[in-house]
Structure 1
Amino acid sequence: MIASRSLSRLASPLAVVALTAFLGACSTLDSINPFSGGGTTQKVEGERISVLAQQVTISVDPALADVPVQLPQPYLNPEWPQPGGYAAHAMYHLEVGPELKVMWTANAGVGDGSDTRLVASPVVSADSIYVLDTEAHVNAFDLQGKRRWSVSLRPEDEDSPTGFFGGVAFDEGRVYVSTGYGEVFALNAGDGSTIWKRGIGIPFRSAPTVNGGRVFAITQDNQLFALATEGGEVLWNHVGISESAGFLGAASPAVAGEAVVVPFSSGEIFALRVENGRVVWSDTLTRGGSTTPIDALNDIRGQVVIDRGAVFAASHSGRIVGIELRTGSRLWDRSIGSTQTPWAGGDYIYVLADDNELLCLTRNEGRVRWVTPLPRFQDEDTSSDNITWSGPVLAGDRLLLASNTGIMTAVSPYTGEVLGSIELPGKTVITPVVANGTVYVLTSNGTLVALR
Structure 2
Amino acid sequence: MLQRFLTLAAFCGLGLGLGACGVTDWFDSAEEPRLPGERIAILALDKGLTPDPEIADQQIILPKPFENQFWTHAGGNPPHAMYHLSINDDLSEAWSADIGEGSDDSQALLAQPIVVENVVFTMDALTDVSAYDTISGKQYWRVDLDPDDHDDGYFGGGIAYADGRIYVTTGFARVFALDARSGAIIWQKDMPGPMRAAPTVNGGRVFLVTLDNQMLALAADDGRRLWSHIGIQEDASLLGAASPAVAGGTVVVPFSSGEIIGLSVTDGRMLWSDSLSSVNRIDPLADLAHIRGQPVIDRGVVMAISHSGRMIALDLERGARAWDIDLGGVQTPWVAGDYVFVLTNDAQLVAVRRRDGRLRWVRPLQRFEDVEDQEDLIQWAGPVLASDRLIVAGSHGEAISISPYTGEVLGFIELPDGAALPPVVAGNSLYFVTDSAELVVLR
Q: Which stretch of structure 1 is more off in the superposition, 378-387 or 288-297?
A: 288-297
Rounded to whole Å, the distance in 2 between the matches of 1:178 and 1:269 is 21
Partners of 1:27 and 1:404 within 8 A in 2: no
Deviation at 1:45, TM superposition (A): 7.7
Rounded to whole Å, the distance in 1 between the matches of 2:286 and 2:148 is 39
2:138 to 142, 146, 153: 146
Structure 2 residue aligned with 1:248: 239
Describe the shift of the 1:253–1:381 C-alpha distance in structure 2 as closer, same or farther (beyond 3 A). same
Rounded to whole Å, the distance in 2 between the matches of 1:423 and 1:330 is 40
Q: Does 1:226 align with 2:217?
A: yes
Amino acid aligned to 1:29: F
Partners of 2:14 and 2:108 within 8 A in 1: no
Rounded to whole Å, the distance in 2 between the matches of 1:120 and 1:90 is 18
Rounded to whole Å, the distance in 2 between the matches of 1:384 and 1:251 is 29
Amino acid aligned to 2:359: V
Structure 2 residue aligned with 1:359: 350
Deviation at 1:322, TM superposition (A): 0.8
Amino acid aligned to 1:146: K
Amino acid aligned to 1:147: Q
Give the 5 Å matches for 1:253-268. 253-268=244-259
Structure 2 residue aligned with 1:11: none
- Structure 1 counterpart SS, 2:54: helix
Partners of 1:169 and 1:208 within 8 A in 2: yes
Amino acid aligned to 2:402: V
Structure 2 residue aligned with 1:298: 289
Partners of 2:50 and 2:361 within 8 A in 1: no
Give the 5 Å matches for 1:180-259. 180-259=171-250
Deviation at 1:134, TM superposition (A): 1.2
- Structure 2 counterpart SS, 1:63: helix
Amino acid aligned to 2:190: G
Q: Does 1:28 align with 2:20?
A: no
Structure 1 ranges of 4+ moved more than 3 A: 18-23, 30-33
Give the 5 Å matches for 1:93-104. 93-104=84-95
Rounded to whole Å, the distance in 2 between the matches of 1:428 and 1:174 is 27
Rounded to whole Å, the distance in 1 between the matches of 2:104 and 2:413 is 26
Q: Does 1:112 align with 2:103?
A: yes
Cα-to-partner distance string for 1:46-100 (whole Å, 9 max, x where unaligned): 6x5x3xxxx4x24311121111111000001111010000100000000001133
Rounded to whole Å, the distance in 2 between the matches of 1:21 and 1:306 is 28
Please tell me the root mean square deviation across aligned C-alpha atoms, in Å. Answer: 1.8
Structure 2 residue aligned with 1:381: 372
Describe the shift of the 1:186–1:359 C-alpha distance in structure 2 as closer, same or farther (beyond 3 A). same
Cα-to-partner distance string for 1:168-196 (whole Å, 9 max, x where unaligned): 00111100001111111100001110111
Describe the shift of the 1:325–1:188 C-alpha distance in structure 2 as closer, same or farther (beyond 3 A). same
Describe the shift of the 1:92–1:219 C-alpha distance in structure 2 as closer, same or farther (beyond 3 A). same
* Percent of residue pairs identical: 47
Partners of 1:30 and 1:386 within 8 A in 2: no
1:161 to 150, 153, 176: 153
Q: Which stretch of structure 1 is more off in the superposition, 289-298 or 349-358?
A: 289-298
Q: Does 1:76 align with 2:67?
A: yes
Deviation at 1:27, TM superposition (A): 4.8
Rounded to whole Å, the distance in 1 between the matches of 2:59 and 2:278 is 33
Deviation at 1:431, TM superposition (A): 0.9
- Structure 1 counterpart SS, 2:329: coil
Rounded to whole Å, the distance in 2 between the matches of 1:21 and 1:205 is 12
Partners of 2:5 and 2:235 within 8 A in 1: no
Partners of 1:142 and 1:148 within 8 A in 2: yes
Rounded to whole Å, the distance in 1 between the matches of 2:144 and 2:14 is 29
Rounded to whole Å, the distance in 2 between the matches of 1:45 and 1:28 is 17
Amino acid aligned to 2:139: R
Structure 2 residue aligned with 1:3: none
Describe the shift of the 1:103–1:31 C-alpha distance in structure 2 as closer, same or farther (beyond 3 A). closer
Cα-to-partner distance string for 1:131-178 (whole Å, 9 max, x where unaligned): 11111111111112211111111223223331x211100111100001
Cα-to-partner distance string for 1:204-258 (whole Å, 9 max, x where unaligned): 1210000000000100000111000111000000110011221222110000010
Structure 2 residue aligned with 1:401: 392
Q: Does 1:338 align with 2:320?
A: no
Name the count of aligned residue pairs. Answer: 415
Rounded to whole Å, the distance in 1 between the matches of 2:196 and 2:440 is 25
Rounded to whole Å, the distance in 1 between the matches of 2:14 and 2:218 is 35
Rounded to whole Å, the distance in 1 between the matches of 2:260 and 2:12 is 26
Structure 2 residue aligned with 1:5: none
Structure 1 residue aligned with 2:421: 430
Rounded to whole Å, the distance in 2 between the matches of 1:200 and 1:251 is 17
Amino acid aligned to 1:154: D
Rounded to whole Å, the distance in 2 between the matches of 1:378 and 1:152 is 36
Structure 1 residue aligned with 2:51: 60
1:417 to 391, 408, 415: 408
Structure 1 residue aligned with 2:23: none
Rounded to whole Å, the distance in 2 between the matches of 1:181 and 1:255 is 25
Partners of 1:28 and 1:404 within 8 A in 2: no
Describe the shift of the 1:247–1:100 C-alpha distance in structure 2 as closer, same or farther (beyond 3 A). farther
Deviation at 1:19, TM superposition (A): 4.3
Rounded to whole Å, the distance in 1 between the matches of 2:288 and 2:109 is 21
Q: TM-score, normalised on structure 2?
A: 0.90
- Structure 2 counterpart SS, 1:419: strand
Q: Which stretch of structure 1 is more off in the superposition, 272-281 or 143-152?
A: 143-152
Rounded to whole Å, the distance in 1 between the matches of 2:144 and 2:12 is 33
Describe the shift of the 1:404–1:27 C-alpha distance in structure 2 as closer, same or farther (beyond 3 A). farther
Partners of 1:261 and 1:272 within 8 A in 2: yes
Deviation at 1:21, TM superposition (A): 6.0
Cα-to-partner distance string for 1:93-151 (whole Å, 9 max, x where unaligned): 00001133222110111111331011111111112111111111111111122111111
- Structure 1 counterpart SS, 2:237: strand
- Structure 2 counterpart SS, 1:245: coil
- Structure 2 counterpart SS, 1:29: helix
Structure 2 residue aligned with 1:324: 315
Amino acid aligned to 2:97: A
